[in-house]
Every structure is written in structure tokens, then in C-alpha cells.
Chains A and B, each alone.
Chain A
Amino acid sequence: MNPKIERRTFLVGGVATASLGLSGALSGADAQAEKVLRIAMTASDIPLTAGGPDNGFEGFRFTGYTIYDALINWDLRPSDKPAALAPGLATSWTADPADRKRWTLKLRQGVKFHDGSTFDADAVIWNIVKLFDDKAPHYDQRASAQIKSRVGSLASWKKIDDSTVELTTRSEDAFFPYQLTFLLISSPAQFEKLGRDWQAFAAQPSGTGPFKLERLQQRERAELVANREYWDAARRPKVDRIILRPIPEASARTAALLAGQVDWIEAVAPDQAAQIAASGARVETNDYPHGWNYMLSYQPDSPFKDIRVRKAINLAIDREGLKQVLNGFMKPAVGMVQPNDPWFGKPGFKITHDPAQARKLLAEAGYGPTNPLTFRVIVSTSGSGQMQPLLMNEFIQQNLADVGVKLELEVMEWGTLLARWRAGAISPQNKGLPALNVSAGLFDPFSAFVRYFDSVYAAPNGFNWGGWSNPDYDALIGKARTTFDIAEQNRLLGEIHSRAVDDALFVWIAHDVNPRGLSKRVKPFVPANSWYVDLTAIELS
């Protein structure tokens, strides 16, 4: 029998501290004093702020086109068609008719950097040198790694006068203006003022963009304030301040939105959309130049060398069913680009769900119940823009099983998949691998077609992973690349796309719709059909 002891009350810390919640968590007082837009990004850190953003296009979205302008910007006003190029710090760009490799750019006058210094031709040349000349005193290695390969056509540069620069490409390249959207212009004067230190510059950057960076706390937050003197009066910000927070975990982003901690979250997970809608917040989507497909190998041992197999697999997939699985957060792909794209063309092969036709084509190719087609695809567990890779691939696996095809999924980490993508189907590590599943941006002719269908870019020289090589394609791409009339260029790109669809060069599956969660504070807006969004147009109620 235990002797009695005095009764004591053990105060549990949690009980005492639970009362802390009674006053509410985030008053949002700071958000009411001025118009503050609080954004949760998927990035795990604040993207680089010195003019060469990392973290993919999310970096350009939030610390690129906010703080900086490019020589050529994107027109992000229309939402019913893919974003087109628009004058940025260059008011015009023309290829010399006598030598199409030479481009003359007229520069915008009267533009000031955030630090008050003047934008001119010297600043443009200085910014190109910082990326391309590793011997230059102001060479920025990290920015170069991010940008240099995106401006791959640039061979040389020259100042003509204070308001004109001449850029020369390696060969005739009518797609070159698209590359210049990646060339963000930072202030040489600010770099000098901060002791020629890019790390210091990243903390106090100076561009010409519609927002200025006021505070940077790495891994935690970046605070941008409106640039009230922005050169484009029509695009002066309607909010006073933007707070960027890296919250890579989807559930944590959703929780932050539901709790009123942020007003805007990137990449809503499909299974959390209902919860967001029920809370009074909303999910906005739009067409988005982002394809989620299977790239195919054209190596000798690949079953996809047979066009009937390629078409059969395209016809075996129930994209509408997949859309339901994703709560509607995708668009069924009917090609590399969408039908409202000027480059869609008029493909004859209609990508629908037709299992009977798929079986017929497979039988013609020599596959059937006694000799089923089995193929392997490498997929990632997650990753930038990869949507819901495991869920989606398992659904596709069932679709293919319905037509007698056995799909084997080899799951790996995103970084590993990227390395396998770069290496190409021809590499020893990918020997015997017929396909890989990777999503990618499709925002310009190069990213949508050239890098996949031009034999020059066969891996390891580029992203023609499967090694597709066809002289007709090469000729057509070459013709489009040297056609400087945009309407004619678009027609030729449509022809390339039509041929690619008719040849079923990919297994086209889904287009992402870029779901964003927005609180009631954010006034309704329709995002551009682009990887980017015009944050200057966002209004808060």
C-alpha cells in the first residue's frame, strides 16, 4: 500500500500557453496599414536577387521581373492567348536585312535605376559582360550559370551610341528576341557603390523594375516596395509592398493561406483545393505553357521507333479521367502546345482516348496478348512543375494495362531524373530506357520545339533526349529560325507542330493550369497565359 502524499497540481506548459491563442494569431495589422501582398512561394529559399534568379521560372516571376526589366519584356496583360514579347528597356529590336545576325536595339531613354543612376547603352554592355566574360572584374558566376545558356545565340556585343546597342548572333536566329527576355539589367553604379561585391548587391539590388527590394532575409522573406517612379506609368504597382516567403511544403502553404498569414500561395495541391474554397479563399487557374509528357527514345532498341506504337500509347490514355483524378487541375494535351496557340497548326492526328484504335495499332505493330508490349519510364517522386507524378503515372499505368501494355515505373528523385534527361537516351546510364516523364516550359519556339526536334540538339548537346533526327524537321526548323516575319514564322512553327503531332513524337498527356490560392483580399484577376504574372496589376480590397 502506498502511503499518501500531498496532492499537487502539475501545471503543464501546454495548458498555460494554449491561452496565448485567444487573441488571434496574425492580426495582419501591418497588412492594413499599407497595401501588403503576402506571397508564399514553392521555392525553399528566396530566389537570387542580383539579376540572375535561380529556382526556375518562379525565381524570374518573383525576384526577376519585379526588381528588374529585361531588354525585352513579356506582355502579361492578355489572358486568352499565350503571352507575347513586349518592349522593355529596348523600345525596338531589328535584324539587319543585309546581315540577319546583327541586331540593333534602340534603348529606352530617361529610365533610372533604383539607385538613381541612369540606364544607357553602357549599362547594357556591362550586364552582358557580367554573364559572358569570366575574366571581367564584375563577372557574376551564379548569374552566369543561370542565364548564359538561356542566351546561347549571342556571339558579340557593341555599343553604337548611348541609346543604341548592336548584338550579333552566332548564326541567323529569328528566335533571338525571346532569349533577351532572360537578360535582366542591373545597375553598374550600385555594384560599384557596394564595393564590387555581388553578395552585397544581392542584399541591396538595383534594377529598373516596378518594385524595389527593401529587405532581404535569406530563407525567410524578401520585402519589395512599389517603385513609384517606374518608367511605365501604366504598370506602376497597385500594392505598396510585397512580402515573399519560401514555403516549399504544400500543406504548410495551404495552412498559411487558411490562417490569413499570406494572401497568395503558389502551386495548390489538387486535394487541398476544396478546403481552400470552403474557407472563402479561391483557386485561380489559366492556360499555362507547361507540358507534362513522356519523351520517347529513338534509339535502335526502343519500341517507339515504330510510329504505330507511339500513336497507340497516345490513344490509350484517358486524359479526361486523369483530369478528374486531379480535381480538374490540368488540361488534356492534344499536342505540344494548346489549340489557342499561334503555333498549333493543323495536325491530322487527333489525340483522344480510343483504346480500340490503340489495340488495333499495337496489333499491327506485332504486339498482342501473347506478345505484350512492356516498356519502362523513369519518373520522379516530385519536382519543379512535376504536378503529381506518382498519382498521374499510376493512372496512366492502368490505362495502358487496359490495352495490354505493361508500363514499368522506375521512380527516382527529381535531381537524378534531370541528370538522366541531360545525358540523353544514348548514354550508357539510359541504355534500354524507352521513355522518361519530365515536365517543361513551352514559352518560346526554342523551348517548345527546337530543342526537342532539331537533330543538332540531340543529347548530350541539348534536350533532344531521344535522339530524334529527321532532315525534313531540321530544314523546317532552320527555315522558321531564319524567318523574321512573325506571321510567317508562326505559320512555319505551326507546320512543325503539326508534323510532330502527326508523327506522335511525344506521348502528350497534360498541360498544367498553374493553380494559385488567393485570399479574399486579392481582387479577382485572370492570370496571363505565361509562366509569369504581372504583380503590378494585382489589387487588394
Chain B
Amino acid sequence: MLLFIVKRVLAVMPVVLGVSVICFLLVHIAPGDPLSAVLPLDASQQMASEMSALYGFDQPLVVQYGRWLLRALQGDLGVSIATGRPVLAEVGAAVVNSMILASAATLIGFTLGCVFGFIGGYHRGTVFDRLSSIASVLGVSVPNYWLGMVLVIVFSALLGWLPPTGAGPDGGATWRPDFEHLKYLLMPALTMAAIPMGIVARTVRALVGDILSQDFVMALRAKGMRETAVLAHVIKNAAPTALAVMGIQFGYLLGGSILIETVFAWPGSGLLLNTSIFQRDLPLLQGSILVLALFFVFLNLIVDVVQTLIDPRIRRF
């Protein structure tokens, strides 16, 4: 097992390096002026040239990448051009907020997805199956940006039940799971849960249907085992795949919530990315993407290891 983990970690290293190159280059390939973050809109070309030299944007890309990587290896992702604050601190605070949101969305999405998927898989061909299929298709199909807007219009603008933006009454500075803060969390979490709910539901439905048709289930029932016990076996067999799917979805939620966080002004990594893109804040943008990409890579690694612990058959040497 230890050897397997070491091998997996070593295999991740080239991926990490590749990710760093892509993160760095993506930002430079994208259109726009990196000086937008530091110059007023009507700054002259001369001022732009001065600033370009000051921030090293006039150096060849290879040199810029080398410097950036060297600092990154020492844990220094630089400072935001726009604000002068350390990128790591900026990203760290945002990731925490995104994790709160992603965790809530995962909880909701995974729970609903498993419920709908299980009902659909267990009651194949019935009205329950159709209803759960509709729910999962809607979850995957409805644009979450639009869903978020609709929720805001209904629950904030029309009913006035829930706050439309932000992470808490104090601006989310000290988030805690109390009633006041949960009110801020509910709508973005529900919006974010829609897609993973649909994906998990479809996965679980297919898994449950497939497992129920296998010989060992027939053997268990033939032995007279109670249906609830049989279902426990089905769940145990379905769990690794469902868990892997949800792990990947969780990773997506952490890094792929730009639209939702923007709609709800939730101060997470998505909103930070959005901000840094529009401000053309290169160090912040590169640092944010790198941290999120690495987070995703290591999350996959953890899921792999956990899967192996649950199901030793998938261990590869």
C-alpha cells in the first residue's frame, strides 16, 4: 500500500510541473493588458512602458516563468499587483470560503443525487425512476448561472427571505455555521449543488441497476437475506465509484464556481479569479489558478488512495 502511494505521488510530480507551465502561459496567451491592474484607464503609453519595465513584463516569457517558478517553489507566489497583498494570503482566504460553499453544495448534491439515483436504480421503469431521471437531467441541464438568478429573484427580490449577496452579515470575515451565516450560504449552495446532484444521480442509478442484476445479489436473496441487508451490499459495491465521482465533482466545485460566486458575490476562489481576470492582475491570476489546479491534482490523488483502501482490487503496481 505504501509503495502504491509513493508511486502515485511520484507520478503526480510531472503533472504539477506541467500545470505550472500551463498556468503561467494561459495568462499570457489570453488577450488583455497586464498593466490594467496598476494604471488608470487613460495612462499614457510612456507610463505603461515604465510600469511594464518595473514589473518585469518586458522580460522574455522564459525569464518571467523561471523567476515565478523559483519563487513559487519557495512558497512565494508574489503579491497582487492591484492591492499589494500576498497572493497566497488572498488565495488562502478565498479557498476557505469556496470550501465552505463547495462542502455545503457537495453535501446537498451528494445526498440528493444518491437519493434520486438510488430510487431510480431500484425502481427501474417506474414513475419514481422517471421522476428521479427528470430531476437529474434538470440538475445537469439547467445553467447554474440562470438558476442562481432565479433563486435570487424569487427568494430575495420577491419574497425577501434570503440575502442575495455576500457571505455573512459581517461580510463573511469570520464565517461560522450559525443561523445568520447559513442564510447567506443556502442559495449559492443549492445552485452549486444542481450539477453534481444530477451527475451523481445518474451515476448511482446506473450503478444500482447494474449491481442489482448481478448474480451475487440473486445469491444473497436466494439465501433469504433481508432486503435491507442486500441493499447494504449494493451500497457498498456502489460506494467507490460514487465516491470517486463526487470527489471529482468536489474539485470542480472548488475551482469552477466563477459564475455562481459572481452572481451571489460570494468571496471565494471563483470570484477572486473573476476579479483577477478583469483586473488583469497577473500574479494573482497565476497564483490562483496554480493553487486551484494543484488542489485538484492532489484531491484526485487522495480519491485514488481512498478508493484503493475501500477496494483493494483496483490497486495497481
Contact = CB atoms under 8 A, between A and B. Distances in A.
Contact of B33 (A20, A146, A252, A418): A418
Contacts of A20: 161-162, 179, 182-183, 186
Interface in B239-293: 262-265, 267, 271-272, 274-275, 278-280
Interface residue range, chain B: 35 or more
B43 interface: yes
B82 interface: yes
Interface stretch (B15-23, B60-68, B152-160, B307-315): B152-160
A13 B187 CA distance: 12
A25 B156 contact: yes
Contacts of A424: 45
Interface residue range, chain A: 35 or more
B14 interface: no
B84 interface: yes
A6 interface: yes
A142 interface: yes
Contact of B165 (A45, A48, A202, A261): A261
A220 B173 contact: yes
A252 B31 contact: no
Interface in A407-461: 412-416, 418-419, 422-424, 440-441, 447, 451, 459-461
Nearest to A13: B108
Given A20-B162, A25-B183, A261-B166, A461 B280 contact: no
B227 interface: yes
Nearest to A140: B84
B44 A149 contact: yes
A117 to B, nearest CB: 24
B36 interface: yes
Nearest to B167: A220
A258 B267 contact: no
Given A54-B82, A247-B165, A252-B262, A25 B160 contact: yes
13 contacts: A21-B162, A22-B161, A26-B169, A145-B38, A219-B94, A220-B167, A220-B172, A248-B278, A259-B163, A260-B160, A261-B164, A461-B44, A463-B42
Interface of B: 31-33, 36-48, 51, 54, 82-85, 90, 94, 107-108, 111-112, 115, 122-123, 149, 152-153, 155-157, 159-167, 169, 171-173, 179, 182-183, 186, 190, 221, 227-228, 231, 262-265, 267, 271-272, 274-275, 278-280
Given A219-B275, A248-B278, 7 more contacts: A13-B112, A14-B112, A25-B161, A25-B162, A145-B51, A384-B41, A441-B42
Interface of A: 2-6, 10, 12-14, 17-18, 20-22, 24-26, 30, 44-45, 48, 54, 56, 141-142, 145-146, 148-150, 198-199, 202, 217-221, 245-249, 251-252, 254-256, 258-261, 275, 279, 384, 412-416, 418-419, 422-424, 440-441, 447, 451, 459-463
